[in-house]
Amino acid sequence: MSQERTLLRPVYRLYEDRLLRQLDPQRLPRHIGIILDGHRRYARAEGLADYEASYRVGMCKFEEFLGWAQQIDIPAITGWLLSKENLARPTEELQPYFEVLISLFERLPDLARRYELELRFIGSLDLLPPDLVRAAKQAQERAGSGHRRLTIAVGYGGRQEIVDAVQDLVSSLAAAGTPADEIADYIDADRIAGHLYTADLPDPDLVIRTSGESRLSGFLLWQSAYSEFAFVDVYWPAFRRVDFLRALRDFTRRNRRFGR
């Protein structure tokens, strides 16, 4: 199989070049959300010794993906690396993934500086192991500033984000002295949006999910109301640049009406 892939590389490069030429720079997404799905199924399909091996391949792929996005100058990327629901998995399955994530977070500041990324983490970080939270905070501090944004969603749930946003809005209204019987009058879509984790980002134009699953599972639940979706059949560790470029090509060809 590896020999076959080697032989096909020149063909894929030619196809990638063709896809790049087909992209209209004026129609590219400003913000891409990506769901990195399929690590465990990839491990089983490839006959890997354990899930940790596929997690490591997947995080290396994520670093590659950031390079692809930088070459096309996508201003914002939000990657969902760990859901709140994932935390219910067995400890023996989660612990190796936590270790792989810590390793990734240690590398991210160098990548962020190379690709001029500002790094942020979102999600219920209080539910995560202390060493993982510490690695995330250190990565964010070390990354510095950049003209593009990389947001990492860990321990993230879309419903929880909306709950947190409403609670934060209500708390801010109460702190400002708004009478309790008037607070409901101040709760509307714009104010809730202003308290989301990604309040300072545009809503995602394109959401990509790998592994063949055709659902969002709550990812950026509020923000994706008018997003375009690309559900890709390959597992995340096997995701290729050509798959990314196809998703972008299809996106640029769509007529977005935003409900109008």
pLDDT tens profile 146-183: 999 999 999 999 999 999 999 999 999 999 999 999 99
**Encoded tokens for 73:** 């100058």
Which one is predicted more confidently, 223 or 18? Answer: 223
Q: What is the pLDDT of residue 257?
A: 82
42 is a domain residue? yes
Question: Is pLDDT at 205 greater than 70 in this prediction?
Answer: yes
**Encoded tokens for 192:** 């809730």
130 is a domain residue? yes
174 is a domain residue? no
Q: What is the CATH number of the domain that holds 233?
A: 3.40.1180.10
Q: What is the pLDDT of residue 81?
A: 98
Task: Judge whether 129 and 55 are in contact, CB under 8 Å.
Answer: no
- Whole-angstrom Cα distance, residue 127 to residue 133? 9
235 is a domain residue? yes
Provide the b/e sequence for 77-114 (b: ≥16 CB within 10 Å): bbbbbbbbebeeeeeeebebbbbbbbebbeebbebbee
- With a CB cutoff of 8 Å and minimum separation 6, the contacts of 232 are 208, 209, 210, 211, 212, 239, 243, 247
Around Cβ 21, how many Cβ atoms within 10 Å? 7
Total of domains in the chain:
1
Nearest to 75 by CA among 195, 193, 190, 205: 205
Task: Judge whether 151 and 204 are in contact, CB under 8 Å.
Answer: no
The pLDDT tens digits of the residues spanning 101-153 come to 999 999 999 999 999 999 999 999 999 999 999 999 999 999 989 999 999 99
Question: Is pLDDT at 188 greater than 90 in this prediction?
Answer: yes
The pLDDT tens digits of the residues spanning 1-56 come to 455 456 567 777 888 888 888 899 999 999 999 999 999 999 999 999 999 999 99
Question: Is pLDDT at 238 greater than 70 in this prediction?
Answer: yes
106 is a domain residue? yes
> Which residues constitute the domain of residue 112?
31-157+205-252
Phi, psi (degrees; rounded to nearest 5) at 156: -95, 140
Q: What is the pLDDT of residue 1?
A: 47
Nearest to 231 by CA among 219, 222, 223: 219
Task: Judge whether 187 and 168 are in contact, CB under 8 Å.
Answer: no
Distances (CA, A) of 6 to 12, 19, 65, 141: 10, 20, 20, 40
- Whole-angstrom Cα distance, residue 34 to residue 241? 14
10 is a domain residue? no
Q: What is the pLDDT of residue 12?
A: 74
57 is a domain residue? yes
- Whole-angstrom Cα distance, residue 13 to residue 16? 5
Label the pairing between strands 228-231 and 206-209: parallel
- With a CB cutoff of 8 Å and minimum separation 6, the contacts of 76 are 30, 31, 32, 148, 149, 150, 151, 201, 202
89 is a domain residue? yes
Q: What is the pLDDT of residue 71?
A: 94
List residues with catalytic annotation. 37, 86
- With a CB cutoff of 8 Å and minimum separation 6, the contacts of 215 are 209
**Encoded tokens for 101:** 């994530």
Q: What is the pLDDT of residue 7?
A: 55
- Whole-angstrom Cα distance, residue 41 to residue 60? 17
